[in-house]
Amino acid sequence: MDSATAVLLDGTRLLGWIHAALWLSMRLGAAFLAAPLFGSRAVPPRVRMALVFALSAMLAPMLPKPPPAAFDALTVLNVMRELAIGVAIGFLLRLAFEAGAFAGELISQGMALSFAQMADPANGAPTVVGQWFYVALALLFLSFDGHLALIQLLADSYRLQPPGQPLPDWTALAQAVPAFLTSALAAGVAIALPIVLSMLVVNLCFGVLGRASPALQPIAIGIPAALLLGIALLVMLITRLVEPARSLFDAAFAAARGLLG
């Protein structure tokens, strides 16, 4: 083999590798855009794009061969299919974090930390408790090696649903997110329920005190007391958040694998 033929073969191999990496970057990019942590505003778009292209380049030689490049309707449908699978996987994992945010919203109602949203419901930011739960779940997600499990899930998705192949059942993809949403909401309520009930008892006590003796100004006393008690209960809850978070993440990954068939 002369040098010209060797260069031609290496160039063809390089173009095939770039072609496969570009196909892989569609599903990976859509998943990272919708997934928690990677899709947050704290991660710059350039960092996210660099991570997507780096993973695509590493996975390209190990995954099935993508469909040939062409400018036709079939290619457009394949691109839409890749984006839909990636968004579905990332959004399912994001719902697990939204369960913690939902628990924070419920708790903040009793701790008097949601006044900003009540005063400005159109532009209200997430409550402090919701952000606290998001950070706690993010740290637990990383401690459980959830980021590695996400990469493994995306790699397995190409083996279960190779690029260019029709989905066996579109209804599974359409029903996966609503089905897991019920579990995520139930998990959020279960996490917040002990503190919500405790804060309800505190608010009822100060309500009865206000009816019995309005001169004591129970609102001025009750709000700081509810805030301090809520912070103490959150500190106690952090030690019991590991197993619910693990179960929630396991259910999210199981739902993501279920939509792949």
DSSP codes, 91-116: HHHHHHHHHHHHHHHHHHHHHT--HH
* Close Cβ partners of 117 (under 8 Å, ≥ 6 residues apart): 124, 125, 127
Mapping DSSP onto H, E and C, the string for 170-189 reads HHHHHHHHHHHHHHHHHHHH
Which tokens hold the place of 241?
């958040």
Give me the pLDDT at residue 211, please.
Answer: 75
Give me the pLDDT at residue 132, please.
Answer: 84
- Dihedrals phi, psi of 113, to nearest 5 degrees: -110, 15
Give me the pLDDT at residue 10, please.
Answer: 60
| Residue 56, CA distances (Å) to 52, 53, 94, 259 in order | 6, 5, 22, 22
Share of the chain above pLDDT 70, in %: 79
Q: What is the tens place of the pLDDT at every residue in 16-66? A: 767 777 888 888 888 888 888 887 777 888 888 888 888 888 887 777 777
Q: Please state, in angstroms and rounded to a whole number, the distance separating the CA atoms of residues 102 and 104.
A: 5
Contact 165, 81 (CB under 8 A): no
Q: What is the tens place of the pLDDT at every residue in 191-211? A: 888 888 888 888 788 777 777
Give me the pLDDT at residue 8, please.
Answer: 43
- Helix (H) / strand (E) element for 164: namely none
Does residue 246 have a pLDDT over 80? Answer: yes
| Residue 6, CA distances (Å) to 10, 60, 92, 127 in order | 6, 22, 46, 61
Give me the pLDDT at residue 9, please.
Answer: 45
Specify the higher pLDDT residue, 72 or 143.
Answer: 143
Average pLDDT over residues 88-103: 87
Give me the pLDDT at residue 114, please.
Answer: 63
Which sign does the torsion angle of CA 151, 157, 158, 159 carry? positive
Specify the higher pLDDT residue, 249 or 69.
Answer: 249
Mean pLDDT of the chain: 78
Which tokens hold the place of 72?
């036709």
Which sign does the torsion angle of CA 44, 50, 51, 56 carry? positive
Q: What is the tens place of the pLDDT at every residue in 150-194? A: 888 888 888 888 877 766 566 666 677 777 888 888 888 888 888
Q: Please state, in angstroms and rounded to a whole number, the distance separating the CA atoms of residues 184 and 100.
A: 9
* Close Cβ partners of 97 (under 8 Å, ≥ 6 residues apart): 36, 134, 137, 138, 141
pTM as predicted: 0.78
Average pLDDT over residues 71-97: 83
Give me the pLDDT at residue 70, please.
Answer: 67
Name the residue with tokens 């292209």: 53
Domain ranges of the chain: 3-259
Give me the pLDDT at residue 91, please.
Answer: 87
Does residue 215 have a pLDDT over 60? Answer: yes
Average pLDDT over residues 104-116: 73
Give me the pLDDT at residue 35, please.
Answer: 86
Give me the pLDDT at residue 125, please.
Answer: 52
Does residue 233 have a pLDDT over 60? Answer: yes
Does residue 81 have a pLDDT over 50? Answer: yes
